[in-house]
Amino acid sequence: MKQIPFVSNHRDNMHCVNAVFRMVHQCYFGKDLTWKEIDSMTMAIPGKATWTFIGEMEFAKKGLHVVNIEPVDYQKLHDEGVDYLKKILGNDTASYYLNKSNIVSVIKFIPQYLKVVYHETRRASLGEIVKFLKQGKLIGVEINSRILNHKAGFSLHFVLLYDLDKDNNIILHDPGLPPIKSRKITIIEFDQCFNFDGANGGVTVFDRD
């Protein structure tokens, strides 16, 4: 099994995205970042979840090959504003993005983002996610953590997929809270929490050029 650095979510339970970015940074650059450093890099806002594309852009500028696959058309999001999200996502997901994330403050940076990160406007398939893992790539994915933990309800969460075991179970780092290092889940369990009704289905694939 691959050994990937693990970072727990911040005690505010609002830093799952930036915990994953810290893991990726340690893996590829050999250096951890403080919460202050990663929050500055991703333009995080205290008390809000962090949209991933700013971090993707900054990591691409640092030399990583970053691919984003998700149904959000970023050019349309830039041109039409946040109301565009209501057209393409489920009510829970759209409401979360609009009310509980930093998306409104970072939309203006989308043109810069699209210049350095390869983006495909579609949902990633389970087959290609497995293929990316077999190629040794790291994958940040958005899931519904309530479904992952076999509970009712809705809570968006970001985890890092990094390997498969001999039975083709997915191995991931779940920053929590509570944090779970090297968590194993079946493909079926992943499908349920990733492709839930109204999901964005976004993935970010990290690799060295």
For residue 23, what are the CA distances in angstroms to 38, 85, 100, 157? 11, 28, 23, 15
For residue 73, the SS3 value is coil
Give the pair of three-digit tokens for residue 185.
């889940």
Q: Which pTM was predicted?
A: 0.94
185-203: pLDDT as tens digits = 999 999 999 999 888 888 9
Question: Using 50, 70 and 90 to split pLDDT, how confident is the model at 65?
Answer: very high
CATH of 16-208, one of 3.40.50.2030, 3.10.110.10, 3.40.50.300, 3.90.70.10: 3.90.70.10
Q: pLDDT tens-digit profile of 89-144? A: 878 888 888 899 999 999 999 999 999 999 999 999 999 999 999 999 999 999 99
Q: By the 8 A CB rule, do 76 and 184 touch?
A: no
Q: What is the pLDDT of residue 1?
A: 66
Cα–Cα separations (whole angstroms), residue 173 to 8, 28, 92, 120, 193: 9, 16, 25, 25, 15
Alpha-carbon span 86 to 154, nearest angstrom = 17
CB atoms within 10 A of CB 129: 22
